[in-house]
């Protein structure tokens, strides 16, 4: 049986989680209650790196959320790096309590991966969309190109994406994570014939919640 923890967090789990457990053991020699804060830290670290299985809904015409969290904005923006023009963007805010493993919204082949260094504004700050460090992953799918943008935040300062150009991903496949609070975006060309199936403020689950539906 697979342990539902992502391998991308092994270092942090050993360093922070393991360190907290050692401090909890030491604190027990003072008083058992003194160990509780350290146990709580260890449990939080393990919880942050949880990686539950997800089952995408049927139908190849639907794009699922690339991350857990809450939809913060649905807007038309410029995306010059991969889509080459105007794009429909759906932004998702991930708190430190969400699952942080990112997932492919549609099946496709990776055509573009670019990490852009930047600042580390809080992801609720409007400047984060343009100024924060980010990683753009562009795919070519059966319905055309689409992209996922991973954006680091004030606390989340490490973006993980093992995908490389030429690799294929199925809808719902794991495609990395952002550590400790972040923002993830789904982008499709503005001219794509899609119907938005979500709304600002709605909670979503990566790999399961439908964000867009392609028209026939």
Instruction: Specify whether the CB–CB gap between 72 and 153 falls below 8 A.
Output: no
47 is catalytic: no
Dist CA 140 CA 147 (whole Å): 9
**And the tokens for 35?**
């160990």
Dist CA 146 CA 149 (whole Å): 10
Dist CA 41 CA 24 (whole Å): 10
Nearest alpha-carbon partner for 200 in 189, 215, 211: 211
Nearest alpha-carbon partner for 60 in 28, 117, 104, 110: 104
For the chain, what percentages of helix, strand and coil (3-state, to nearest 5) are there? 20, 40, 40
Query: Of 47, 95, 134, 182, which residue is the catalytic one?
Result: 182
Catalytic center residues: 182
């Amino acid at each position: 049986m697979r342990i539902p923890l992502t391998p991308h967090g092994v270092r942090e789990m050993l360093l922070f989680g393991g360190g907290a457990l050692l401090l909890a053991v030491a604190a027990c020699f003072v008083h058992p209650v003194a160990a509780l804060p350290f146990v709580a830290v260890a449990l939080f670290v393990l919880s942050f790196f949880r990686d539950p299985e997800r089952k995408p809904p049927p139908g190849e015409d639907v794009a699922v959320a690339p991350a857990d969290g809450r939809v913060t904005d649905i807007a038309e923006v410029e995306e010059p790096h991969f889509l080459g023009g105007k794009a429909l963007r759906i932004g998702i805010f991930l708190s430190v309590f969400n699952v942080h493993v990112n997932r492919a919204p549609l099946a496709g082949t990776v055509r573009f991966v670019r990490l852009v260094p930047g600042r580390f504004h809080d992801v609720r700050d409007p400047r984060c969309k343009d100024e924060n460090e980010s990683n753009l992953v562009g795919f070519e799918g059966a319905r055309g190109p689409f992209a996922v943008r991973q954006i680091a935040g004030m606390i989340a300062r490490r973006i993980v994406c093992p995908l490389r150009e030429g690799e294929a991903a199925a809808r719902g496949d794991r495609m990395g994570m952002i550590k400790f609070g972040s923002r993830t975006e789904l982008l499709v060309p503005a001219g794509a014939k899609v119907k938005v199936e979500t709304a600002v403020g709605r909670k979503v689950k990566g790999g399961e919640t439908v964000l867009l539906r392609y028209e026939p």
